[in-house]
Amino acid sequence: MKDVKSSSDSEAHRGIQNHNKYKILLLSDDFGRNIVYILRKMLPLQNFAVEMILSPNALISDVIKNVDVLTADFNEMDYVIILAGSNDALSKGFIKANELKDKLEAVTSY
């Protein structure tokens, strides 16, 4: 079984659809490569569906670009964990927080 998803966003979305479990979606650049394994060991798998989309060398804007589609069936009991930004710091030296704010606010409003 392949644990780290590097597949398309639509495949990851299909994989996390489980109405009997809390959903956790990890979106990460290289920084969070092994976090999915740690979470799966720590959390009771009968209660949580943990999936990850790993985007090596990606900027944070690329890591979260489809978060709205990926979380379309999420509710207030589900989680999105974003581990990204290290590549932004390396390439540009900064992250434009205002560019990300609207995208993330749209996902968190119910």
Indicate whether 25 belongs to any domain: yes
DSSP H or E segment with residue 32 = none
Domain count, the chain: 1
- Report the candidate in 53, 35, 54 with the shortest Cα–Cα distance to residue 43: 35
- Report the candidate in 19, 34, 32 with the shortest Cα–Cα distance to residue 77: 19
Output the domain CATH number for residue 58.
Answer: 3.40.50.1110
- Inform me whether the pLDDT recorded for 37 exceeds 50: yes
Domain that holds residue 85: 9-108
Please give the structure tokens belonging to residue 75.
């509710």
Residue 8 sits at φ, ψ, to 5 deg, of: -70, 160
- Report the candidate in 55, 72, 82 with the shortest Cα–Cα distance to residue 14: 72
Indicate whether 15 belongs to any domain: yes
Indicate whether 42 belongs to any domain: yes
CA–CA gap between residue 110 and residue 92 (Å, rounded): 33
> Cα 47 to the chain's mean position, in Å?
18
One-letter amino acid for residue 23 of the chain = K
Please give the structure tokens belonging to residue 96.
């434009």
Indicate whether 27 belongs to any domain: yes
Indicate whether 4 belongs to any domain: no
Looking at residues 86-110, what average pLDDT do you find? Answer: 70
Higher pLDDT, 96 or 105: 105
Give the model's confidence band at 85: pLDDT under 50 very low, under 70 low, under 90 confident, else very high: confident
The reply to whether the predicted model has a pTM over 0.75 is: no
pLDDT digits (tens, 9 = 90+) for 38-81: 999 999 889 999 999 999 999 888 999 999 899 999 998 999 99
Indicate whether 89 belongs to any domain: yes
